Amino acid sequence: MTADLIQEYIKPGRRAHLVGIGGVSMCPLAEVLFGKGMIISGSDVQEGLAVRRLRDLGIPVTIGHQEETIQDAEMVIRTAAVHDDNPEVRAARRLGLPVFERAEVWGVIMRRYRNALCVAGTHGKTTTTSMCTHIAMAAQIDPTVMIGGTLPLLGTGHRVGAGETIILESCEYCNSFLSFFPTVAVILNIEADHLDFFKDLKDVQNSFYAFAKLVPEGGTVVANQEDPNTMEALQGKIENMMTFGLEQGDVHSTNLHWEKGMPSFDVVYKNETVSHVTLQVPGIHNVKNALAAAAAALALKLPISAIEEGLKAFRGAGRRFEYKGTIKGAKVFDDYAHHPSELKALLDMTSTLEYERVICAFQPHTYSRTKALFQDFAEVLRKPDVTYLAEIYAAREQNQVGISSEDLAKEIPGAKVISSLPLLAETLFSIARPGDLILTVGAGDIYQVGERLVRMGEN
C-alpha cells in the first residue's frame, strides 16, 4: 500500500521535502526526483559538498530542522536516522502530509526496472557498486545508478539512464534495504555493525537473510562463500545463489599476481576460465570486490568483454583511497573507512606500497560504534607508524555511552588526540616529509583535513 501511495507522489510538478538531504543516498535521490520534474526542497544539519551541489542545481536547502521549511511540501522523505521527534517530521504529521523513508522511495523507483542489482555488505559496498557501474557502462546498457559516494566516471553519485537496469548501493542500517526489490542481490560480507540499531551479529545476519529472500524466482543472490558469517546467515536456504571468493566459489580467481602494487588475475566461472582482469586499484580487498562485481555481471548476463573493460577502467570511488595531492614530498590520500575491518584492509594495503612512513589521521564515527568495537579499533590503529585521532564524529548520536577519542588514544602507543580539524591539518603539515603516506580516514568530515593540507602545500 505504501508503494502505491508513493507512486502517486512521484510525478512531475509534485512537491517533496527531504529531511537530511545531504546524506549519501538522499542527495542522489533528490537529484533523481528533481530530474523527473518534481519540485524539491530539503534540510540538513550542516553545510557540505552535497548541500552546495544541490543548491547549484537550484534545490533550496535549509541548515537546521525547522517546522516552517515544509510549508509548501506535499510529502516528506526522511533518512532512517531521522526520527519521529524531528521538528519537520512532527510538522508533517500535524499537517497530514505523508512521511516516507528514503529506502521506500528508492524501492518504488526500482520496481520500474527489469533488472535491479542491489549491492549489500558491511564493507565494500561503494567500491563494488562503482565497479558494477563501470561494467554496465562498458556493456552500454544505459543503467540508472545510485552510489553512496562520488564516482569519477559519473562526476557524481548517481546516474539516470534509459535502460532496463538499475544499480543501487544497499545499506542494512535500520533494515533500509528490506524496502528494495532486487533481482540480483550481492552480499559482500556480514559483520557486527550499526549496533545502535541491531542487537548483535545474529540480528544483522537475520536482516541480510531477509534481504536475500527478497530476490524472486529467476533472480540471483551473489554471496561471498569465504565469509563465514554470510554462509551461516544464508544456511543453504537460498536456492538461486551464485557464490564468489578469492579461491572458492562459483566465481573465483586464479593466477593472481601483483605489479607495482596493482593486481591482475584470471576469473574462473563454473570451473572454466572466462576472463583476465587487470585492476588499477591496489589491495586484496579490491580483488574480492572485483570478483563480486564480475559475478553480478555474469548473473545479469553481461558480456565478458565488458567485465574486463569496466574493471580495468575503474580507478576508485570518491573517498576510497582517494588521492588528494602532494605536500612536502608526502602523498595525501583520503578514505571513508570507519569500521575496524575496513581500517585493517586499508592499512594492510598501504603496507604493501613501500612508503617510508604511514601516517594515519582517524576520526571515529559515532559513539556507539566506537564503544562497541573499542578493542578492535585500538588494535588496528597500532598499525600505522604515526596515529592521530580527531574527536569522535557524533553523526546522529549524543554521547550517552561516555566515550572519547582520548580513551582510544590511551590504548595506542604514541597516538595523540588533536582537538580540531584545522589544528590536525597544521600538525600533519608540520611533520610531513618525502616518502610519507598521509591518510585522512573516517566517515565524518575528516576529508576536510586532506583538502586543507593540499591547500597549505600550494601556498
**440 in a structural domain:** yes
- What does the pLDDT profile of the chain (459 residues) look like in tens digits? 578 889 889 999 999 999 999 887 888 899 889 988 999 999 998 888 889 989 999 999 999 999 999 988 999 999 877 889 999 999 999 999 999 999 999 999 999 899 999 999 999 999 999 999 999 999 999 999 999 888 999 988 888 888 999 999 999 988 999 999 999 999 999 999 988 889 999 999 999 999 999 999 999 999 999 999 999 999 877 889 999 999 999 999 999 999 988 999 999 999 999 999 999 999 999 999 999 999 999 999 999 999 999 999 999 988 889 999 999 999 999 999 999 999 999 999 999 898 999 999 999 999 999 999 999 999 999 999 999 999 999 987 899 999 999 999 999 999 999 999 999 999 999 999 999 999 999 999 999 999 999 999 876
Shared domain for 281 and 368, answered yes or no, is no
Last residue of a domain, one of 283, 313, 343: 313
Q: Can you name the residues that pair with 99 across neighbouring β-strands?
A: 76
Taking only the tens place, the pLDDT of each residue in 405-414 is 999 999 999 9
- Let me know if 391 is a catalytic residue: no
For residue 452, the one-letter residue type is R
Secondary element (H or E) of residue 332: strand 330-335
Distance (Å, whole) CA 109 – CA 413: 50
Phi, psi of 337 (to 5 degrees): -50, 130
Query: Which CATH number goes with the domain that contains 256?
Result: 3.40.1190.10
Three-state SS at 144: strand
Query: Which CATH number goes with the domain that contains 57?
Result: 3.40.50.720
Locate 34 and state its grid cell: 528533481
**78 in a structural domain:** yes
**106 in a structural domain:** no
Model pLDDT, residue 236? 74
Model pLDDT, residue 237? 78
* Active-site position among 69, 79, 122, 126: 126
The answer to whether 378 and 413 have CB atoms below 8 angstroms apart is no
Shared domain for 261 and 119, answered yes or no, is yes
Model pLDDT, residue 132? 98
- Let me know if 125 is a catalytic residue: yes
373-to-193, 332, 338, 413, 418 alpha-carbon distances in Å: 9, 27, 11, 18, 21
For residue 289, the one-letter residue type is N
Query: Which CATH number goes with the domain that contains 387?
Result: 3.90.190.20
β-pairing verdict for 436-441 and 144-151: unpaired
**262 in a structural domain:** yes
Shared domain for 45 and 26, answered yes or no, is yes
Last residue of a domain, one of 281, 313, 345: 313
Model pLDDT, residue 311? 98
Shared domain for 11 and 49, answered yes or no, is yes
Model pLDDT, residue 165? 97
Pure H helices in 381-458? 405-409, 421-431, 447-458
Q: What are the E-state strand segments in 58-97?
A: 61-63, 75-78
- Let me know if 2 is a catalytic residue: no
Shared domain for 157 and 60, answered yes or no, is no
pTM for the predicted model, two decimal places = 0.85
**107 in a structural domain:** no
- CA 342 vs. chain centroid, Å, equals 11
Distance (Å, whole) CA 166 – CA 116: 5
Shared domain for 445 and 334, answered yes or no, is yes
The answer to whether 180 and 170 have CB atoms below 8 angstroms apart is yes
Shared domain for 128 and 202, answered yes or no, is yes
CA dihedral 91, 95, 101, 102 (to 10 degrees): -80
Locate 437 and state its grid cell: 603516506
For residue 458, the one-letter residue type is E
**Considering its fold, how many domains does the chain have in total?**
3
* Active-site position among 101, 169, 172, 308: 169
Distance (Å, whole) CA 297 – CA 134: 11
Last residue of a domain, one of 43, 69, 101: 101
* Active-site position among 31, 101, 125, 129: 125
Cell 582520548 -> residue: 406
**108 in a structural domain:** no
**49 in a structural domain:** yes
Shared domain for 382 and 430, answered yes or no, is yes
Shared domain for 79 and 144, answered yes or no, is no
- Domain with 279, as residue range(s), is 113-313
Distance (Å, whole) CA 430 – CA 161: 47
Shared domain for 409 and 306, answered yes or no, is no
Measured at the CA of 249, the angle between CA 247 and CA 254, to 5 degrees, comes to 35
Identify the sign of the CA torsion 414, 351, 449, 445. negative
Shared domain for 171 and 301, answered yes or no, is yes
Distance (Å, whole) CA 171 – CA 292: 17
β-pairing verdict for 39-44 and 386-389: unpaired
Shared domain for 147 and 89, answered yes or no, is no
**170 in a structural domain:** yes
